[in-house]
A and B are shown apart, each in its own frame.
Chain A
Amino acid sequence: MSACAAILLSLIAATSGHGDARLEIELAHASMVVGEAPLLTIRLRNTSAGRLWVNTRFGVNSESAVPDFRDVWFDIVGPDGRRLNFDCQVKGRLATASDYRIVQPGDWVGTVDSLSCFKIGLPGTYRIAVKYRDGNSTPPPAPLRSVHLTEQIESNQVQLRVLPSTP
């Protein structure tokens, strides 16, 4: 490979981190009864043609939490139109080098959350979306020919129908 081609390739790689991943969420069940725990699968997919260097810690926390302890946060709106608060205290885990993985084009990494930090108590339809951003302030350098995913990504929106519990 010529020097010019190598420089061109590295320039392409360096600029390909933006918009090259997609956050996909999916509920295990579209409806549930009040009191049940919904399971939400979160997948971060590499939609680019190159390799991504991704923090796969998936630390779930409040939007306002210290970024070092948060990669994933939720945006949930209840049937009354109000945004639900993340109502947990978290002993967060600092990300380490072992949390980082190369994600090949088309591949995905992910996690599952039971939304146990949200009070889903009213019957009705809840709108759920998720945001991801690598919160680690000291990430390990991306390996050669891979791009560190640093951008904030928003997921699709899913709807959860909550039914009243039967006496």
Chain B
Amino acid sequence: MLDVTGIPVDFEGDVAAGAIDNAKADVPEIANAKTVIYDRKLTGDYARTARDGTVYVGPNAFRSTEWLDSTLLHESIHVSQIPTRWYANDPLGSSINDVEAYRAEQQNFVRFGLSPADQAEVNQSLLSDMFVIRRLGGPAAVQQVYSGNYTMP
């Protein structure tokens, strides 16, 4: 079966699964996930983590080995939030959850060797969430998150 680009679907899936296996070796933190699945339909986002601990990775996360590693680290943070800090249904809380994940990516820029463009994207995404935290939680919430406290204020 071919997709619209003429690439066999099974071939693409096999390549993606192999790349995920390699990334898992680079990012042992993702071992906390129930499973990590390639989802070729997930084109609008890089990845998503469901509450059952399943991580879905979309095609755009595969633009480089470094970006895939960083994305898996990001999702491992979300998996770690499930037991006590899963705020997916709260606008302020989900931004706090995201800031924790983006800051983990920032702290590992050197480890994964992210390009300046990749770093800029992480920084911009983090900033978008910080604006939400400031709007919904005020300066105190911003201060709390900057200090590394990622619980609901």
Contacts and interface: CB of A to CB of B under 8 A. Distances in A.
Nearest to B46: A91
Main secondary structure of the interface of A (DSSP, over half): loop
A87 B51 CA distance: 6
A77 to B, nearest CB: 16
B113 to A, nearest CB: 19
Interface size class for chain A?
20 to 34
Given A89-B78, A94-B125, A59 B44 contact: yes
B57 to A, nearest CB: 9
Nearest to B61: A91
Interface size class for chain B?
35 or more
B51 A68 contact: no
A128 B149 CA distance: 37
A106 B132 CA distance: 38
A155 to B, nearest CB: 16
A59 B58 CA distance: 11
A111 B125 contact: no
B121 to A, nearest CB: 7
A90 B94 CA distance: 9
Given A89-B78, A91-B75, A113-B41, A66 B95 contact: yes
Contacts of A163: none
B51 A86 contact: no
Contacts of A87: 50-51, 88-89
A111 B59 CA distance: 13
B60 interface: yes
B132 A66 contact: yes
Nearest to A63: B91
B141 interface: no
B47 interface: yes
Interface string A87-118: 11111111000000000000000011110110
Interface string B31-63: 000000001011111111111001010001100
A91 B41 contact: no
B56 A116 contact: yes
Contact of A91 (B39, B47, B89): B47
B13 to A, nearest CB: 14
B89 A62 contact: yes
A65 interface: yes
Contacts of B46: 91-93
A64 to B, nearest CB: 4
A86 B88 contact: yes
A86 B89 contact: yes
Contacts of A60: 42, 44-45
18 contacts: A60-B45, A62-B94, A69-B128, A87-B89, A88-B48, A88-B50, A89-B48, A89-B88, A91-B48, A91-B71, A91-B74, A91-B75, A93-B45, A94-B121, A94-B125, A114-B41, A116-B54, A117-B50
8 shortest interchain CB distances as A-B pairs: A59-B44, A64-B91, A89-B78, A58-B44, A91-B46, A88-B48, A87-B51, A112-B41
